Structure 1
Amino acid sequence: MMALPRRDFLALGLAAGASALLPGRAFATVATGTRLHGLSAFGDLKYPADFDHFAYVNPQAPKGGAMNFAPPNWGYNQSPLTFNTLNSFALKGDAPPRMEMCFDTLMERALDEPDAVYGLLAESVTLSADRNSFDFALRPAARWHDGSPLTAHDVAFSFMLYKEKGHPDLLLPLVELKEAVALDDHTVRLTFSGKQSVQAILTAVGMPIVSKAYYATNDFEASTMTAPLGSGPYKVGRVSAGEFIEYERVADYWGADLPVNRGQDNFGRIRIDFYRDRQAAFQAFKKGDTTFREEFVARVWATGYDFPALKQGKVVKREFPGEKWPAMQAFAINQRRERFRDVRVRRALDLCFDFEWTKRTLFAGSYERSQSNFERSDFRAEGLPSPQELALLEPFRNELPPEVFGEPVMQPVSDGSGRDRKLLGQAAKLLAEAGWKRVGGFVVNDKGERLAVEILAEDDSLVRITSPWADNMKAVGIDASVRLVDSNQFEERQNNFDFDLNLVAISIGATPSADSLETLYSSRAADRPGTRNYPGTKSPAIDALVAAAGAAQSRDELVTALRALDRVLRARLDWIPTYYLANHRAAYWDMFGFVEQKPDYGFPVEALWWFDKDKAAKIGKG
């Protein structure tokens, strides 16, 4: 059989059962040749062209005051534990979270809609007749922090720069971007190949725009502690590498009163302190050095919040509803290492993890077991495959595990003892079937090499959770260990896929784009350092399902493609799903105001909350 290029093989797979999902109908319901104030994947917009502000903000929120917070999430090359560069958009180095606040984007996401974006730098966008080109009319008032105009030339430069040298989170979504050109100072055209996903442009319009003039004399890929020229609501203030960074609100920010910004970016100063030790970070919160944090350690949430400030009512401990998007937290099993390529080995590792014991003993009864990388969403597969799912899966039946075509694979349930003999016996049997023979205390292959498994960790709490798992692996003959490394080593090893097992938590959005799915699951991301395809998955079937999701023209089509993908991921077990929490566990010093009803698709407190002088004075924080 002749080997086919990945792209050709993917097209053949789709043609066999999903021709209606092929690209070419992107934004099929959206008018062309008309200036639009917003875009969404499936055409529905909540806010009209003359909207004043998003419904989830307080447009009269006071400006000023400070928030010192512990970021619960981050992206690009950022790290919450340390930093050695202020360049956040290249792969090299570790940058501090929230550097993106210093930069504007073409459009801004609405947090109460699953995938809608509205104009920020762009006053409007016009689609070409073939829906492959997007003309953005920029607001003439847009300015860089030095007062110089932000023009279409900067926008075009940014996209072509990211396409060539950007962090993989920026580069991969632009693979099908053919060109970005400035038609004049205030109009930029992005042209795609026709093979792009529907969501590609929705990802692109949220990318930070950088200065062409600045990078004419500065190396974009350099790791540097010089803050690049920005245009956004904040700029870098005081900073000490690896210790703290302060973002200062730009008093004369050009876009402060735009509908997409009104009522947001209220704090005069946002500070992030960096602690390599989780306990030190918690102590900083108890003292009031940090004023907002989310708690991710169940034991601390259950027993640690009994300090004086909380008892005195100065600190509030409460839960906020989680977002309405998939919860993905899983251990990646690195199949670039031959010993993990047999699915029976991966299943044996999974059988050794006793979630029921972990939940009772280490999680204080919180958390639920994840079954899927799309947990808490409609994308999680249930029951037998639908006819629509089968149409996507059947062309790859010979490649796929037979379990894909039945009820979705479920995670093992233990007796909660911490060492379930039945499950460990099943693990030992699978290892033997995969050719690993017990010799003395370890299982070895036909070359006499031990089956070694190292779980990579950058935090003591993860060591505490995974050490019992490693002990169970040892019980069936696996040479298992947990390796605790510092943040720099962790990022380096993760980016270069230098690990056996690695825990990852990622948000992929309420309407996952093909770009976000590709960086996690596609073949072309498997060998590119810095992508999120940590297991090194290379599967024509998965590539086809990711493409089908990207080409979906309705939410029903998207749900079908992702449920089919879920079945494949759960049967292959490239990722071992772990556990999830339904809500945000947050604690904060009672000095903030906020709209009580949080939006369904985001929780950026640093952007939505504000400093309340009266509350702060009552607790001595005025």
Structure 2
Amino acid sequence: MRLPRRQFLALAASAIAAPAIPAFAESPTKTKLHGLSAFGDLKYPPDFSHFDYASPEAPKGGRFVFSVPYWYFNQSPLTFNTLNTFVARGDAPPRMEMCYDSLMTRALDEPDAVYGLLAETVVISEDRNSFEFALRPEARFHDGTPLTAEDAAFSFTIFKEKGHPSLALPLLRLEKAEALDPRTLRLTFDGKQSARTVLDAVTFPLVSKAFFDVAPFDGASMKPVLGSGPYKVGRVRPGQSIDYERVADYWAANLPVNRGTNHFDTIRIEFYQDRQAAFEAFKKGDILQRQEFTSRLWATGYDFPALKEGKVVRRDFDGEKRPSMQACALNQRRERFKDRRVREAIAICFDFEWTKRNLFYDSYERSQSSFEKSDYRAEGPPSPAELELLEPFRGQLPDTAFGDAVIQPVSDGSGRDRKLLGAASKLLADAGWKRDGSFVRNAAGQPLTLELLVDDEGFVRIFSPWVGNMRAIGIDASVRLVDSTQYNARQNSFDFDLISMALSFSASPTRDELDGIFHSRSAGLEGSRNFPGTADPAIDALVDAVGRAQDRETLTIAMRALDRALRARLDWIPNWFSANHRVAYWDMFGFKEPKPDFGFPVEALWWFDKDKAAAIGKA
């Protein structure tokens, strides 16, 4: 995300007082660097002691039990049946990534900076296509064996060949990962990579080659993959809970990137298939912290005794300064959804104004963009620079991509806006779907069917009025609630008509992360997040333009052009968003405020306060 001008200038001004540290795009070659950044100067110099948002003075100890608000790779917040999080197969528990170290790690108070963790330094080649990392000699796995460049090279190679799409796609342009000696790793790209590709790759968790010499990489197993990170897997109850135990002799505990983080001795994740059951567990104190995503509960459910007695705190935290996306995808691998007019008719049937008032308690705003809450959201007519990127695709993209940014229609809030439903009916008729009794049919006499796939009862409640409106205009629509295992399997194999997704992008999105959602190369890749099956050369070219950006201004222009094209195509039907985190927690934790702008990993930043815990009977 592009920083607001005042914050950008303030950051730049603060950097003037520090030693000059070059931006990644302008970083010197053949020079040992302690960190990389896409555009602006690094905030932290080579000799920094810890990140400003970390808390070195905080005590270690205690237990943190929570329901996770986000997850990565093949992870699921509802259940798990494997501890291998690196492949598309199976459902792994969230936060397995805490068990593994990476070459570098992100600073959460900078939009795109990474600093050395396993890698003490990195050297960029003169052609900027290869990167040599000097690994720290003290790095070791949890079993005491050294973590070497051979392990790192193996990790990148196997991720590219067999890894989850979130790992494999960013490594598409990786030509070779090689160990030059036990402590030197070289990553060589083919020259067609985005300038920022390496910023994604260096944050990937690394694994042990020796472990996978005797175990299949792509197998689903309840045996933890050997790690090297600040936590390791403790007690496991498959599908119910997992404990992560802090590694007492963690080799990197006192590195600047880790000092003042990872305070809890035990981090437990509890799994609940039902949101209400999870909420009841929180009320009883079985869960100690949760982010609330159900507006009805936030508005009416937080009146239980522990909250009234001051034992539980309920408050908002600022959201991250990163683009976010919550939207529904219509699967265009199915012929009946390929016509944009059909997609538009379906989108019109979603009455956000009624939903906001009656189901959301006015706590959400309508999303219009795939990049909400950021400067990448297009507004009004395109600028000349945006048009320059779009013009080559006039005639390929819908005409609406070249005018004012597409905005979803505003209903009268009745829940059954006759004017909008009439417009939706006309769109279906224009697309060849004629009314025949209760439903519309195509020329072959087939009805227009649509199944909205969900894995949570809360979405049944939210989407049922949408289904009702679709049925009113002749679409044979329904909501299908399935368990999380079936949901993930159908999602990964694109076996659905319409499905929803929520995610956040990095503050300076790379081509690699956009590839997995919008680019044609991911349309047929099972396990990717290209749920609509978008495979449009115009979109591909705009994603590539994002990858070529060499400064924030150019990046913002390319992202806005991409946003215009995506909104015009309507592969994704925008839903809603919230500006803040709604958080409730038992008052037994300490944390530093304000939270960092670009991340909110409470399990890594908060700590157990035994005096607070004793005051509420939780010691």
What TM-score range do you get, normalising by the shorter chain? over 0.9
Superimposed CA distance per residue, residues 64-113 of structure 1 (whole angstroms, 9 cap, x where no aligned partner): 10000100000100000000000000111000000000000000100000
2:435 match: 438
Secondary structure at 1:557 match in 2: helix
Mapped to 2, the partners of 1:512 and 1:238 lie a distance apart of: 37
1:261 match: 258
536, 539, 551: which one aligns with 1:539: 536
CA displacement at 1:391 relative to structure 2: 1.2
1:356·1:413 contact (CA, 8 Å) conserved in 2?
yes
1:413 match: 410
Are 2:399 and 1:402 aligned? yes
Mapped to 1, the partners of 2:203 and 2:26 lie a distance apart of: 22
Mapped to 2, the partners of 1:44 and 1:340 lie a distance apart of: 46
Secondary structure at 2:26 match in 1: coil
Mapped to 1, the partners of 2:559 and 2:331 lie a distance apart of: 23
1:389·1:561 contact (CA, 8 Å) conserved in 2?
yes
1:192 match: 189
Mapped to 2, the partners of 1:84 and 1:155 lie a distance apart of: 27
Mapped to 2, the partners of 1:524 and 1:149 lie a distance apart of: 37
Matches within 5 A, 1:362-511: 362-511=359-508
Mapped to 2, the partners of 1:426 and 1:450 lie a distance apart of: 19
Secondary structure at 1:317 match in 2: strand
Secondary structure at 2:313 match in 1: strand
1:30·1:43 contact (CA, 8 Å) conserved in 2?
no
CA displacement at 1:595 relative to structure 2: 0.2
- Identity among equivalent positions (%) equals 67
Aligned residue type for 2:570: L
TM-score w.r.t. length of structure 2 = 0.96
1:280 match: 277
Mapped to 1, the partners of 2:145 and 2:433 lie a distance apart of: 66
Are 2:281 and 1:310 aligned? no
Mapped to 2, the partners of 1:146 and 1:294 lie a distance apart of: 35
CA displacement at 1:551 relative to structure 2: 1.1
Mapped to 2, the partners of 1:209 and 1:546 lie a distance apart of: 28
2:353·2:412 contact (CA, 8 Å) conserved in 1?
yes
CA displacement at 1:27 relative to structure 2: 4.2
2:216 match: 219
TM-score w.r.t. length of structure 1 = 0.95
Aligned residue type for 1:407: D
Mapped to 2, the partners of 1:402 and 1:582 lie a distance apart of: 31
Aligned residue type for 1:122: A
Superimposed CA distance per residue, residues 503-532 of structure 1 (whole angstroms, 9 cap, x where no aligned partner): 100111111111110000000100000001
Structure 1 spans left out of the alignment, 5+ residues: 1-25
Mapped to 1, the partners of 2:473 and 2:261 lie a distance apart of: 54
1:27·1:131 contact (CA, 8 Å) conserved in 2?
no
123, 138, 141: which one aligns with 1:144: 141
Aligned residue type for 1:614: D
Mapped to 2, the partners of 1:384 and 1:228 lie a distance apart of: 51
2:41 match: 44
Mapped to 2, the partners of 1:402 and 1:189 lie a distance apart of: 46
Mapped to 2, the partners of 1:28 and 1:117 lie a distance apart of: 14
2:235 match: 238
**CA-based RMSD:** 0.7
Aligned residue type for 1:60: E
Superimposed CA distance per residue, residues 354-384 of structure 1 (whole angstroms, 9 cap, x where no aligned partner): 0000000000111000110111100011121
Superimposed CA distance per residue, residues 534-558 of structure 1 (whole angstroms, 9 cap, x where no aligned partner): 0000111100010110110000010
Cα distance change on mapping 1:28 and 1:275 into 2, 3 Å: closer
Mapped to 1, the partners of 2:576 and 2:331 lie a distance apart of: 20
Mapped to 2, the partners of 1:189 and 1:529 lie a distance apart of: 30
1:88 match: 85
2:7 match: none
CA displacement at 1:28 relative to structure 2: 3.7
1:123·1:136 contact (CA, 8 Å) conserved in 2?
yes
Matches within 5 A, 1:572-591: 572-591=569-588
551, 566, 569: which one aligns with 2:566: 569
Residue correspondences, number: 597
1:333·1:575 contact (CA, 8 Å) conserved in 2?
yes
45, 56, 59: which one aligns with 2:53: 56
Mapped to 2, the partners of 1:294 and 1:264 lie a distance apart of: 20
CA displacement at 1:43 relative to structure 2: 4.7
2:549 match: 552
Aligned residue type for 2:489: E
2:511 match: 514
171, 174, 177: which one aligns with 2:171: 174
Secondary structure at 1:197 match in 2: coil
1:27·1:553 contact (CA, 8 Å) conserved in 2?
no
Mapped to 2, the partners of 1:609 and 1:357 lie a distance apart of: 38
2:25·2:195 contact (CA, 8 Å) conserved in 1?
no
Secondary structure at 1:284 match in 2: helix
107, 110, 113: which one aligns with 1:110: 107
Secondary structure at 2:583 match in 1: strand
CA displacement at 1:30 relative to structure 2: 0.8
